Amino acid sequence: MLNPAVISQGNSRPEPRKLFLRKQFVRRGGACLLEWRKVVCGVMIVILPTSVLAQDSSRAMLHSDGGVWLNGNPAPNSSAIFTNDLVQTQKGTTAKIDADGSTATVQSETIVQFDGDELALDHGGLELNTSRAMRVRVNCITVTPLSQEWTRYDVIDVDGRVTVAALEHDVRIHYRDGVARRSKEAGSSSDVTVHQGEQVTRDERCGAAVRDTRVVDADGAILNSVWAKAAGLTVIGVLTCWALCRGNEPVSPSAP
């Protein structure tokens, strides 16, 4: 009759111990899972805003180490920028604009406006590395990659001269508005292709109203013709003779 009691006591001791160990394991596992969740949430908080901004062509991220102005105010080291935002770098400073599939390095002493899939360069220099054919516009001049592959090119606008260098793959220089219309009338295209490894410099030809060169040449030809000169000399001679002849007549009738 004593054996079952002994067996019962011997089997009852491990149960509380196992239960205790199980609770400890669950407690520690829960703590580890909680810490892991915190880490994942922290990473997602950092990554998600950047990825969302990068997927929207009307937004980008501006990165710098100081000395950069955003819309007339000092820019933080990292800041989201949107369409029509103006970025200005001071002397000796640079900045980077990270957009969807494109990275633009803003050189020192540069003013540029972010316009989504296009950068409007006021003056200074830009280095583009893009797989989304991001364009650069300088007044009526637009520089566009010719392929959707990763294309690297530089655009520098200094003293009214625009220099375009194609570092990897080809780009095209296109003239808009009056310049394009004038070239179309003349029967030639205003577009220029800059092949990889080449560099092209052009003037900003849209600062003033474009005049039709054929009209200007025609006016010049008429005024400089022999018949125009002869007619002018004839008119001058007639007027001179008339003045001399009038000089021999009395100014007023003589008194009787």
Q: What string of DSSP letters covers 107-134?
A: -SS-EEEE-SSEEEEEEEEEEEEESS--
Q: Is residue 98 within 8 Å of 54, Cβ to Cβ?
A: yes
Q: What is the pLDDT of residue 8?
A: 47
The pLDDT, as a whole number, for residue 175 is: 87
| Tokens (6 digits) for 246 | 């009038």
Stretch 12-32: mean pLDDT: 58
pLDDT for 54: 44
Cα–Cα distance measured from residue 143 to residue 147, given in angstroms and rounded to the nearest whole number: 13
Residue 20: per-residue pLDDT? 59
pLDDT at 39 over 90: no
- Token pair for 161: 């001269």
Residue 60: how many other CB atoms lie within 10 Å: 27
Please tell me the predicted confidence (pLDDT) of residue 35. Answer: 65
Say which residue, 166 or 26, is predicted with more confidence. Answer: 166
Task: Give the CA distances from residue 180 to residues 18, 28, 142, in Å, rounded to whole numbers and listed in that order.
Answer: 86, 73, 12
Compute the mean pLDDT over every residue in the chain, rounded to the nearest whole number.
Answer: 75
Say whether pTM exceeds 0.75.
Answer: no
Report the pLDDT averaged over residues 26-49: 57
CATH number, domain 59-203, options 2.60.120.1440, 3.40.50.300, 2.70.98.90, 2.60.40.150 = 2.60.120.1440
pLDDT of 204 reads 75
pLDDT value at 163 more than 60 = yes
Write the DSSP symbol of residue 90.
-
User: Is the CB of residue 68 less than 8 Å from the CB of residue 88?
Assistant: yes
d(CA 186, CA 203): 19
Query: How, if at all, do strands 73-74 and 111-114 pair?
Result: unpaired
| Cα–Cα distance, 140 to 175 (Å, whole number) | 6
List the structure tokens of 221.
Answer: 């030809």
CB contact set of 147 (below 8 Å; sequence gap of 6+): 133, 169, 170
Helices 14-55, 2-12: crossing angle, 10 deg rounding: 20
Domain ranges of the chain: 2-54, 59-203
What pLDDT was estimated at residue 211? 36
pLDDT digits (tens, 9 = 90+) for 201-255: 988 766 443 333 333 343 444 344 445 555 666 666 666 666 656 555 554 455 4
Nearest Cα neighbor of 173 from 187, 149, 157, 150 is 157
C-alpha to C-alpha distance for 211 and 224, rounded to whole angstroms: 20
DSSP 8-state symbol, 208: S
In single-letter form, the type of residue at position 115 comes to: D
pLDDT > 70 in the chain, percent: 52
Of 1-5, 132-136, 153-157, 218-222, the poorest mean pLDDT is in 218-222
Tell me: pLDDT of 115 over 80: yes
| Statement: residue 70 has pLDDT above 60 | yes
Could you tell me the two tokens for 211? 């005049």
30 pLDDT exceeds 90?
no
Residue 133 burial (CB count, 10 A): 18
Alpha helices in the chain (DSSP H): 2-12, 14-55, 177-186, 213-223, 226-248
